[in-house]
Homo-oligomer: A and B are copies of this chain.
Amino acid sequence: MAVTIKDVAHASGVHVSTVSRTFSAAHLVNAETRARVLAAAHQLGYRPNRAARALSTRRTGNLGLIVADIANPFFPPLIKAAQAHARASDHHVFVADTDEQARVEEELIRSMATQVDGALLVASRLSNRVINELSADVPFVVVNRRPPGLPAVLMDVASGARQAVEHLAGLGHREVALLSGPRASWTNQNLERAAAEEAERHGVRLHRLGPNQPTEEGGAAAAPDLLATGATAALAYNDLVALGLVGELRSRGLAVPDDLSVVGVDNTDTARHCDLTTVDMPTAAAGRAAIDLLLRRITSGDAPGTVTLDTRLIVRGSTAPPAG
């Protein structure tokens, strides 16, 4: 049986309310009493029961972190940073994986609602309508999404995408394929828009292919269509798609970057290891910023605006001038 506030009260000869005060409003209690209580608490190994406290304060000290796919290397650095940052403010975080399914995401949030003070939605696949509906119950901060009225942290893939297309154009590519990702993805929408604009600026023809699954399989599966376009370079929705494509191309006897240049998005560790040119996404910084916004929103009730973080192209060995 865990030790409760009652045990501490007994041991230190005061009433429970005094014990409670020494933990939640120390200044309201006599220094001497406080010392006695603290000593007893320490001796007994007392820890306040957060759930019980939450019942009266309506503050759980817990946050939710909802991501599409924990195993996608894009997420772990964000999760790690968010979790560490939350803990620094004495918050625990529930991490949940939606498997990219909006239904699961919604149910997850609903079931978590009573247990968290707020939640981070990363790369949410929910419709704006549902997000708004749910945000009545749970204060949200969204990452890489822009539902009207909600605080958001955006990793502005557009800047990196423009640099990517410019880079390819500079190398001499005139036909570039864009392997797009999920329709509901804000990142994908921005990627498509920015790539199209920049392609036009440079007189590059952009072949939009997709939507593709945001996985290696998705990238591999796109290879035939890609080859059919005659493009000499490809910009992929993310590193996973890019690497899946590279693998498939190699297994068809094509060399990257000699026969085809490939650019990814995310700058995961894997991309670095595989020498993939890619757009760096500041995921750890985004995780921290999002937790900041969320805590500010929870504690001071204000609805802070949008934080935009820049992205930039990391040039590596998977891009080169077109063959011939």
Contact = CB atoms under 8 A, between A and B. Distances in A.
How many interface residues does chain A have, given as a range? Answer: 35 or more
Contacts of A73: 73, 76, 269
Interface stretch (A47-55, A121-129, A175-183): A47-55
Given A71-B77, A112-B92, A55 B51 contact: yes
Copy number in this complex?
Answer: 2
Interface of A: 2, 47-52, 54-55, 60, 62, 69-71, 73, 75-77, 79-80, 83-84, 87, 90, 92-97, 99, 108, 110-115, 137, 243, 247, 269-270, 273-274
Contacts of A62: 94, 115
Contacts of A93: 94-96
Contacts of A115: 50-51, 62, 92
Nearest to A70: B80
Nearest to A284: B71
B51 A60 contact: yes
Given A51-B55, A55-B55, A111 B84 contact: no
A114 B83 contact: no
Given A270-B273, A273-B274, A274-B274, A97 B114 contact: no
A76 B83 contact: no
